Structure 1
Amino acid sequence: MKNYKLILIALLFSTGMMAQDRGSVVLDVYGSYTFSNNVNFDYGDLKIGDGLTYGAGFEFFPQKSTSVELKYLRFDTSMDVDVPIAANDVNGDGAFNYILIGGNHYFDNGNNAVPYLGGGLGVAITEGPYGGSDTNFAWEIKGGVKIKTASIVSISLQANLISTVAPSGTDTYWGYWGPVAVQDYAYSYQFGLGAIFGFNFK
């Protein structure tokens, strides 16, 4: 049994490369550790805990070094809302559901390990600790190294940053004609480190 495992590993990570060609479609499976962060707003702050982000998506290559990507990610986490003027804080478990469209550029140098940079835009559907959800704008930037193999499978090691932008009340400013209410926003910045398993269908 051990011999079969060694043969499989040798085939998967052999020095030959199966590069993504023009017109390739890759199924990506994502898994990463996302660090905790604080979100500040006018009347308090929200602490978002750390946890696992996972999901899947498709990558289409109109050119060999450039891809268009559509993906879904889910981040299950704890949420601790601290509002000093409130009688009770809101604590519990929640989640972020990301639907993002974007792309990657690969700096292909002919080696097995190919650096890349990418990004995306979309929405974050936030589930609160006690039910309900809220949909807001989200964006992502990322970078990493894609390790090609002789099989249809590739592995990418990646760092990424996803931000959710949510309205959080209004600020009042005095103008020529009197007070003016301006929409205020809260920003979350979630940094993650993880891996992507890609399955090339072409």
Structure 2
Amino acid sequence: MKKSIILIVFILVSGFGFAQGIRVNTYAGYVFPDSFDNYYSANSYVQGQIQDGFRWGVGLEYAVPGNRAIELQYKRQDTTAPTTYRDPNIGSGGLNTSNFEVGINWIMLNFTNYIPVNETVEPFVGGGLGMGIFDVRNPDTGNANNGTKFAWNIRGGSNLWVSENVALRIQASLFSAVQSVGGGLFFGTGGASAGVATYSTMFQFGFDGGLVFRLPGK
């Protein structure tokens, strides 16, 4: 996955490296917790919470006419998910608890509309489409699982330019992984080959801060 990200960034830099309007956006912020649950029956269900925590990221942005921009963005969060799940086929009495280790990766193509107020303040709104890649590990059994899902996001905030080519970026964003029309997150409770799995609606709301670097071009 990391090699694919590097390749995409390299292609974009090669294609736009000598053009005006290239920005590198950095992100660091806080993500709120989000609960999930899925009930198959009274004897087979999953419920838990993806914990809050730190999320970082980077984006490569290219300006297009009309105060708009296209950005290739990567974000990463490492967290845990305390989960209770019941399955008559596994565990003692079918009731199990575990604090899953979760790695959440977002690879998004964002579209942003800037609304410049003056040379310093540059508010924006936008959204994007892409994919969420989820790595889940059960520390009690050592089993691991992963899933890749279609994802979307919306965001709004402002750039505050402190110099010609450097700005402070503040924003709020909402990310969601979509399994179908209703949306969902793959969460394997028993590992790669055992236990129940759930498709549960997931929404991650967070606040980000970071720096924007405007690259000079011809």
TM above 0.5, yes or no, is: yes
Cα shift at 1:196: 2.4
Cα shift at 1:185: 4.5
Matched, 1:28 2:15: no
**TM-score under structure 2 length normalisation:** 0.70
Residue-by-residue CA offset, 1:46-103 (whole Å, 9 max, x unaligned):
3100111101110000125100010110011111222234432232321101100011
Cα shift at 1:109: 2.2
Which segments of 5 or more consecutive residues in structure 1 lack a partner in the other structure? 1-21, 170-183
Correspondent of 2:50 among 23, 48, 52: 48
Correspondent of 2:105 among 97, 100, 125: 97
Correspondent of 1:124 among 132, 149, 154: 132
**TM-score under structure 1 length normalisation:** 0.76
The verdict on how the C-alpha distance between 1:39 and 1:111 changes in structure 2, with shifts beyond 3 A counting, is same
Cα shift at 1:26: 0.5
The 8 Å contact of residues 33 and 49 in structure 2, kept in 1 or not, is answered as: yes
The verdict on how the C-alpha distance between 1:150 and 1:39 changes in structure 2, with shifts beyond 3 A counting, is same
Correspondent of 2:158 among 145, 159, 162: 145
Cα shift at 1:186: 2.0
Higher deviation after alignment, 85-94 or 121-130: 85-94
**CA RMSD after TM alignment:** 2.1
Quick one: which amino acid aligns to residue 128 of structure 1? V
The verdict on how the C-alpha distance between 1:168 and 1:99 changes in structure 2, with shifts beyond 3 A counting, is closer
Residue correspondence of structure 1 range 1-202 to structure 2 within 5 A: 23-42=20-39, 43-63=45-65, 65-85=67-87, 86-130=94-138, 131-166=144-179, 185-202=199-216
Residue-by-residue CA offset, 1:6-30 (whole Å, 9 max, x unaligned):
xxxxxxxxxxxxxxxx931101111
> In 1, distance between residues paired with 2:65 and 2:31?
31
> In 2, distance between residues paired with 1:104 and 1:74?
20
Quick one: which amino acid aligns to residue 91 of structure 1? N
The 8 Å contact of residues 114 and 146 in structure 1, kept in 2 or not, is answered as: yes
The verdict on how the C-alpha distance between 1:168 and 1:199 changes in structure 2, with shifts beyond 3 A counting, is closer
> In 2, distance between residues paired with 1:194 and 1:62?
24
> In 2, distance between residues paired with 1:84 and 1:148?
53
Which one has the largest radius of gyration? Answer: 1
Q: Which residue of 2 aligns with 1:13?
A: none
